[in-house]
Structures are given as C-alpha cells and as structure tokens.
Amino acid sequence: MLNKYKAYAKFKCLFTQFNFKLYNYKYSILWYSTLDMKESRYRMIFVEIPGRDNLNIKNIVFDYNGTVAEDGIMASQTKENLKKISEKLKVYIITADTYGNVKKQCEGLPVSVETFPKGNATFYKKSFVEKLGVEETMVIGNGMNDIEMFKVAILSIAVIGEEGCAGKLIAQSDIVVSSIEKVFSMIENTNRIVATLRD
C-alpha cells in the first residue's frame, strides 16, 4: 500500500511539473505572438496611385544637414514631426555628421541614426537604402550625395530649404517641396502624394 502511495505521489508531482512547463510554454508563445502582432501593426503606409504601382512603404530615410537640420540644428517642430511619423514608419537619419552633433540632436527621438565617413557619402547612402529594401523605402534629401539613393528608392522627395537643393537632385526626384514641413504633411495626408504623382 505504501509503494502504491509513493508511486501515486511521484506521478502527481511529475504531472504538476508537466502542467507548469506546459503553462510556461503557452505563456511564452502568447508573449512572442503579442510582440509579433504589435510589430505587424506598427509602421507602414499604403498609397494607391492611379497609373502607377501602389506603394507599401515601411521605411523613411532622411538626409540630415539641409534636410531636417539647418547648420546642424533641428528645429523643435521638426523633432515633434519626426515623433509623429515614427508611429507610421521606421525613421532613419543618415549623415556624415559634418557638425559632430547629430546623435545629441536626435537624443530621445524614435529614430535610428546612421553615420558614415565623410568621403564617398553617395555610395554609403545608396547601400543603406538597398539594405533596407528599395521597394519599401522612401528617401528625403537636398544634396548631390543623395542622387544615387534617390535613383533606387521607391519614392523620393527633394527639399528646397534654407540651404537650397542641388539642381541635379531635383531631376531625379519624384516630388519636390519647398520645406521639410511639406514632407511631413504629405505623410500625414497621403492624398497629396497621390495628387502629385497620378496620371
């Protein structure tokens, strides 16, 4: 009788451990699934343009100086706008960091900052966009070294800001705007993109 009791107690203990592990496994699966669902809901805009392929954009890449910053400094409103669009897109800022302050300027912002050597910026920018995926990446810039990434990205917008814009870049752009604020407004209201690019 004692042996039967010990066997039963051992079985109950093993069964309890099994249930505990199974619960933990299910909880882990649920936790990871929740993360995946959050990630899948997060960051994408869809733009349907008559006469052109539809756009499914996940990433936006900004040049820094002359585009989102003037003389190396970002306006407070630009920072607020970057926060807003980060709810729709993954935001990247790429720069040779001429003034050496880009990371400090972007501190606390939901953006990824990518810096590269000052030489051959054109190559680095294009390679970065290709790495992200040209079919789901839009690019924003104003300089000569933005031309190659403009050629490969699914959507490109040139900004004629206070520091001007390279004439050759305009020829490679899908859209040209007068300020960085216009870019943010187009992302908030994608019908403006449609109106500009439709047949």
Q: Do 185 and 87 lie in a common domain? A: yes
Q: What is the tally of structural domains in the chain?
A: 2
Residue 49 belongs to a domain: no
Instruction: Annotate 145-172 with b (16+ C-beta within 10 A) or e (fewer).
Output: bbbbbbebbbbbbbbbbeeebbeebeeb
Which whole number is the average pLDDT over 13-28? 45
| pLDDT > 90 in the chain, percent | 75
Question: Rounded to an integer, what distance in angstroms lies between the CA atom of residue 156 and that of residue 165?
Answer: 14
Q: How confident is the model at residue 9 (pLDDT cuts 50, 70, 90)?
A: low
Residue 89 belongs to a domain: yes
Q: Do 75 and 11 lie in a common domain? A: no
Question: Rounded to an integer, what distance in angstroms lies between the CA atom of residue 199 and that of residue 197?
Answer: 7
pTM: 0.79
Residue 112 belongs to a domain: yes
Which whole number is the average pLDDT over 72-76? 97
The pLDDT value recorded for residue 69 is 97
Residue 46 belongs to a domain: no
Question: Rounded to an integer, what distance in angstroms lies between the CA atom of residue 131 and that of residue 128?
Answer: 5
Answer yes or no: is pLDDT of 1 > 90: no
Q: Do 16 and 97 lie in a common domain? A: no
Residue 104 belongs to a domain: yes
pLDDT in tens, 132-158: 999 999 999 999 999 999 999 999 999
The pLDDT value recorded for residue 12 is 53
Answer yes or no: is pLDDT of 13 > 80: no
Question: Rounded to an integer, what distance in angstroms lies between the CA atom of residue 70 and that of residue 54?
Answer: 33
Answer yes or no: is pLDDT of 36 > 50: no
Residue 19 belongs to a domain: yes
Q: Do 87 and 170 lie in a common domain? A: yes
Q: How confident is the model at residue 197 (pLDDT cuts 50, 70, 90)?
A: very high
Q: Do 5 and 63 lie in a common domain? A: no
pLDDT in tens, 49-66: 999 999 999 999 999 999
The pLDDT value recorded for residue 8 is 53
Instruction: Give the domain extent around 115.
Output: 55-197
Which residue bears the tokens 């030489």?
119
Q: Do 61 and 27 lie in a common domain? A: no
Q: How confident is the model at residue 24 (pLDDT cuts 50, 70, 90)?
A: very low
The pLDDT value recorded for residue 7 is 53
pLDDT in tens, 108-119: 999 999 998 878
| pLDDT > 70 in the chain, percent | 79
Q: Do 70 and 101 lie in a common domain? A: yes
The pLDDT value recorded for residue 119 is 83
The pLDDT value recorded for residue 10 is 54
Q: Do 21 and 63 lie in a common domain? A: no
